Amino acid sequence: MNTKQNAIGIFDSGLGGLTAVREILEIMPHEDIVYFGDTGRVPYGSKSTDAINKYARQDARFLKKMGVKMIVAACGTVSSVAPDLSEELGLPYTGVVYPTCYTAVRTTKNGRIGVIGTAATIASHSYKKRIQAKHPEIEVYEEHCQLFVGFVENGLVDPDDELVQLMVKRYMAPLKENNVDTLILGCTHFPLLAEAIQREMGNGVTLIDSGKETAVYTKKVLEERGLLRDGNEQGKAQFFVSDTPADFERYAGLFLRDDLDITAAHINIEEY
């Protein structure tokens, strides 16, 4: 039975979805969370559509088995490539593309939006199509930044690090040239590089964090369906990964509050 006291299930290829977890804990502190990071198969963004579809289903099935009340694909790649799984799962389900585009079109003043994401996300043109379906007058400039994922998964996010600066400069150049005033961080790993990106793009550009926007939308869906948890006690978070928990635990702290227990358990995702 789907009840309001059940946890929210969130998944990503690795650490990136924790940007959504951070915001969910912030705006819905009483909710329990079950997080799955598919660290054994990260990155998703350079994989085929078939592989991404298979991974999305397995990840969601695992979370369903954990008895969650809603599933959040906190992954730009899954949200761009895999179908909406709500009917298949019989559960409320959201990805990150819709909530992120919603905010981006309300933010731009000059009608020029940049999108950065993984290779698969950019090849799908998911953000561009979603924006231009309703706002054909908005120019959308896309740039794939697959390399960013490896940096984040290895904790390389310091905006003062020369390597980080060089990489960001290289990938931001075409977007700067196109004079975007709004930049969608279309991969949930990228908010960890937000400071480096903001420095490179300048303060005139507003960054839209896909993890954050998805958290806000998740709250809205739960509210509308009467599924927000009752009670005032602090929610609990459980973490599961498909590779060594130690690697996940080492860097998860970069994304989350210091006081949170980020002990992770290993599961065999191929069983789902």
The reply on whether position 12 binds ligand DGL by CB under 6 A is yes
Of the ranges 21-29, 38-46, 227-235, 245-253, which one interacts with ligand DGL (CB under 6 A)? 38-46
Q: Per-residue x/- mask for ligand DGL, residues 126 to 155, rule CB under 6 A?
A: -----------------------x------
What is the C-alpha end-to-end distance of the chain, expressed in Å? 20
**In the complex with ligand DGL, which residue's Cβ is closer, 7 or 149?**
149
Selecting among 115, 187, 262, 264, the annotated active-site residue is 187
Are the C-beta atoms of 166 and 97 separated by less than 8 Å? no
- Which of 52, 167, 168, 187: binder of ligand DGL (CB under 6 A)? 187
What is the closest distance, in whole angstroms, from the C-beta atom of residue 206 to ligand DGL in the complex? 19
Q: Closest Cα to residue 28, out of 86, 89, 70, 79?
A: 70
How far apart CA 144 and CA 34 sit, in angstroms, is 29
Give one DSSP letter per residue of 104-116, joined into a string: HHHH-SSSEEEEE
Query: What backbone torsions phi and psi does residue 55 show, to the nearest 5 degrees?
Result: -60, -45
The two tokens of residue 74 are 């906190």
Selecting among 75, 91, 113, 120, the annotated active-site residue is 75
| Binding positions for ligand DGL, rule: CB under 6 A | 12-14, 16, 42-45, 75-77, 118, 121, 149, 187-189
Q: Which residues are catalytic?
A: 75, 187
